């Protein structure tokens, strides 16, 4: 049985780790995950959760969006066609005006957060 090639994201993580001159064990301790889990991520056998990817990105002094971009994964592409979230909130008759404003404010904060992270300089 042929082994699957590593995912682009896992390969990017492995290369960045190696460029940082860290062993897999050192890096997994820094990120707060097990050595076998990191190995599986790097080999493309498992996809990291958002929390783990954020930890990996922080350890590499970058952002998760930058890692996705390097791996050729478009993070801004909508997943499905259909009405936008703001349109759905505005059209829902079960919500009153205050609830609509609150939901739209929270949604806007979530949508803008990745943009702010991408433009922020690494510390």
Q: Are residues 72 and 90 in the same domain?
A: no
Q: Kindly state whether residues 1 and 35 are assigned to the same domain.
A: yes
Residues 63 and 105 in one domain: no
Query: Model pTM?
Result: 0.58
Q: What rounded mean pLDDT belongs to the chain?
A: 82
Q: Encode pLDDT of 29-71 as tens digits.
A: 999 999 999 999 999 899 898 899 999 999 999 888 888 888 8
Alpha helices in 1-123 (DSSP H): 8-19, 24-31, 35-42, 50-59, 64-70, 85-91, 97-119
CATH value at residue 65: 1.10.260.40
Domain containing 112: what range? 78-123
Are residues 39 and 3 located together in one domain of the fold? yes
63-112 pLDDT, tens digit each = 888 888 888 877 665 555 667 888 888 888 999 999 999 998 998 888 77
Residues 97 and 110 in one domain: yes
80: phi > 0 → left, psi -120 to 50 → alpha, else beta; which?
beta
CA distance 50 to 53: 5
Rounded Cα distance between 123 and 121, Å, is 6
**Domain match, 57 and 83 both:** no
CA distances from 49 to 37, 41, 83, 88 (A): 11, 10, 27, 28
């Amino acid at each position: 049985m042929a082994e699957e090639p590593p995912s682009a994201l896992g390969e990017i993580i492995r290369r960045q780790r190696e460029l940082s001159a860290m062993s897999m064990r050192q890096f997994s301790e820094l990120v707060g995950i097990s050595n076998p889990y990191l190995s599986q991520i790097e080999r493309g056998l498992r996809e990291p959760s958002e929390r783990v990817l954020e930890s990996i990105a922080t350890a590499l002094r970058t952002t998760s969006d930058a890692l996705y971009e390097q791996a050729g994964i478009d993070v801004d592409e909508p997943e499905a066609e259909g009405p936008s979230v703001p349109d759905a909130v505005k059209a829902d008759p079960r919500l009153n005006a205050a609830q609509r404003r609150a939901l739209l404010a929270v949604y806007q904060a979530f949508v803008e957060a990745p943009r702010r992270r991408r433009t922020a300089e690494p510390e």
